[in-house]
Amino acid sequence: MGTNIVDVFDLYAKQYDKWFETIEGKALFKTEVEAVRLIIKDLRKPFLEVGAGTGRFAKELGIEFGIDPSSEALEIAKQRGIKVRKAKGEDLPFKDETFGAVFILFTLCFVDNPLMVLAEAKRALKKDGGLIVGIINRESRPWGQLYIRKKAESHPIYRHASFFGINEVAEMIGKTGMAIEKYSSALCPLPSEKPYKEGVRNGLIEGSGFVCILARKLKC
């Protein structure tokens, strides 16, 4: 993450975390967690989340370790029992082949060098370990456009984001030498269709607002 976005997350950490207690926040969080769970059933701990923020996803998904450059966010994550380190995804403070899975959820759009973050995640993975990348799909007509509009309207957080399409992320993952194994999809209804009752789906569904990718570090 660049300096500006780190300052923003330091400033808004508590406010951002409280959003998940709203009706909308609870519904979206539940759906996104289900999408991640759908593709991680055969992965073995220990787990690391890059860009763990306040630790909500880490706690819910049983991720023990988290890194983030925001001190304020990490303080909240620590209270949730996450073992945290202040660091950036481009330079993970862990030895090679430490983790059975590395999670990058909603973080890739905020980092300085996405390809370097993915390469560092690969380095930290054990052989045959899994990389889980969750993104807001820029190509999703309802959801992608919603967040692009937030960026254009200078939302305090999303104005710093660079949203990606699925093919862009898949191409970056391929450049690291990892192989994509599975997809899951969620948030197919329009953002105005509340509450969000639709469940998650296996595979890549066109128009999905949230897409989760499992890539595997190949055994040498």
The length of the chain is: 220
What's the confidence (pLDDT) of residue 205? 84
- Look up residue 131 and give its DSSP letter: E
What's the confidence (pLDDT) of residue 208? 83
Burial-class residue 22 by CB neighbours within 10 Å (0-12, 13-18, 19+).
exposed
Average pLDDT for 160-170 = 86
What's the confidence (pLDDT) of residue 173? 97
Q: State pLDDT tens for residues 9-24.
A: 888 889 889 989 998 8
Percent of the chain with pLDDT over 70: 84
User: Does 35 have pLDDT greater than 90?
Assistant: yes
What's the confidence (pLDDT) of residue 2? 43
Q: Which helix (H) or strand (E) holds 98?
A: none
**pLDDT bracket for residue 194 (50, 70, 90):** low
Q: What is the mean pLDDT of the chain?
A: 87
Q: Where are the domains of the chain?
A: 3-216
What is the C-alpha end-to-end distance of the chain, expressed in Å? 31
Q: Could you give the CA distance from residue 57 to residue 17 in angstroms, rounded to a whole number? A: 11
User: Does 66 have pLDDT greater than 90?
Assistant: yes
Q: State pLDDT tens for residues 69-84.
A: 999 999 999 999 999 9
Distances from the Cα of 97 to the Cα of 82, 92, 104, 120, 181, angstroms: 20, 12, 17, 11, 19
- Look up residue 217 and give its DSSP letter: P
SS3 57: helix
Name residue 184's beta-bridge partners.
202, 212
Domain 3-216 architecture: 3-Layer(aba) Sandwich (3.40)
**pLDDT bracket for residue 1 (50, 70, 90):** very low
Q: Could you give the CA distance from residue 169 to residue 135 in angstroms, rounded to a whole number? A: 9
